[in-house]
Amino acid sequence: MERIDKIGIAAWGSISALGINGEGAWERYRDNAHCFTKAGFSENSDWIAPLSGESQSQIDALAEEKLKYQQLDPSVRYAIAASRNAVQQAGWVGIDDLGINIGSSRGATTAFEKYHEQFLENGRQFTDPLTSPGTTLGNIAGWAASDLNVSGPAISHSITCSTAMHSIINAVVWLRSGHCTRFLAGGSEAPLTPFTLAQMKALKVYSRLDDQYPCRSMDLEKTQSSMILGEGAACFCLEKDTEGALAYVSGIGYGTEVMTHGASLSADALCLQRSMKMALNGHDPESVSAVVLHAPGTIRGDMAELEAIKAVFGTHKPLLTSNKWKIGHTFGASGALSMEMALLMLLHDQFIQPPYLAQQRQTAPLKKILVNGVGFGGNAASILMER
């Protein structure tokens, strides 16, 4: 794949445990406290990273605007909120020909669990008429497009935990093709439900640690997996006109590998090696200042990604970080929230690292940051961002 033309990031919008996009999120990144709390979904409460109070207030206000918004799954409302934030920041309000690609790994989790529980309670004889539209993954971009009153392409998809990264890749390709001049892309996820949590615990990857940092993302010394679920959404306003851009997307990459089972990933994450090499095509690997890892806090997943980075960068050692220790794993939204972290580091020229790992020294200005995402089935994506 040839080196891509730079695509400008005009603005972004997010909503998560960090708050709403902007300096508030940056201040939370700069402190060494995580955003986790304990949830009472089961007999023994579990760590989760819910929306901040500020973020939840915005979602509550959105639900009060229109009756139809009250009926939407939280993941859809999160997407609408992040989309509004991004478009307002970019000054794109009222622009009609805006393309949209917003994905989600699990989709309408809360709505599906609610309607399915009703179905079982009614002896499998009745379900709510809103079940089908309310639990359809395609809801997410369509509702965002309707809320923004735009008529461009509105694409929803699920590529598990690399969903948001693939939204960005799609946007870049649409922009390069000339079919759109502006694109809104990202991901949204609201997975903090009993059934979803039970699934992660069944995989034996959920954190049972009860110390200062219960998610030990990137920590190769951990003796048990430490993934924690979080929720949120992030969207980026992308355009070919790069004048005045906050930063640029200057490389995109993707890769898959042969599966041995649904949650498999090879020991050296071949899919991530492929995606990183593609994103770096035409760039000197030594020009990359830092990498924001997917690193969900699982033993095998973290180790495999670090091995892939060694294979791609060789003797060059970029600064390595992740935000999972801070806000948990937000599944389909995680790549977009990792991009937010990378963008904030570029804008402030300050590296943020997990506080429980050996300190890494930033010895030069941050110029280029590579962001990784990988999902079940070995489906990886990488985005190169630069100032």
The tens digit of pLDDT for each residue in 178-206 reads 999 999 999 999 999 999 999 999 999 99
Please report whether residue 3 resides in a domain.
no
- In the prediction, which pLDDT does 43 show? 66
Residue 380 sits in a domain of what CATH number? Answer: 3.40.47.10
Q: What is the overall mean pLDDT for the chain?
A: 93
> Considering the domain boundaries, does residue 205 fall inside one?
yes
Q: What is d(CA 293, CA 382) in angstroms, rounded to the nearest whole number?
A: 10
Q: Is residue 4 a part of any domain in this protein?
A: no
The pTM score is: 0.95
Q: Is residue 132 part of a domain?
A: yes
The 3-state DSSP class for residue 229 equals strand
Partner residues linked to 16 by β-bridges? 19, 232
Q: Classify each residue of 378-387 as buried b or exposed e, where b means 16 or more C-beta atoms within 10 Å of its C-beta.
A: bbbbbbbbbb
Mean pLDDT value of segment 16-44: 88
**Phi/psi at 84 (5° precision):** -60, -45
Which among 45, 61, 72, 109 has a CA at the least distance from the CA of 333? 109
pLDDT tens digits, residue range 322-336? Answer: 999 999 999 999 999
- Residue 239 forms part of a structural domain: yes
pLDDT for the residue 367: 97
Which amino acid, one-letter code, is at 134? G
- Per-residue pLDDT of 225-244, as tens digits, reads 999 999 999 999 999 988 89
Q: Which domain holds residue 74?
A: 9-386
Within a domain: 238? yes
In three-state secondary structure terms, 137 is coil
- The DSSP code sequence of 91-111 is T-TT-SS-EEEEE-SS-SHHH
* CB contact at 8 A, 229 and 328: yes
* Residue 2 included in any domain: no
At 263, the pLDDT band (50, 70, 90 cuts) reads low
Helix (H) or strand (E) run with residue 30 in it:
helix 23-30
Q: Does residue 251 belong to any structural domain of this protein? A: yes
> Residue 229 in contact with residue 191, Cβ under 8 Å?
yes
Q: 43: exposed, middle or buried (C-beta count within 10 Å: 0-12, 13-18, 19+)?
A: exposed
Question: 351 near 319, Cβ under 8 Å?
Answer: yes
Residue 1 has pLDDT above 50, yes or no: no
Domain count of the fold of the chain: 1
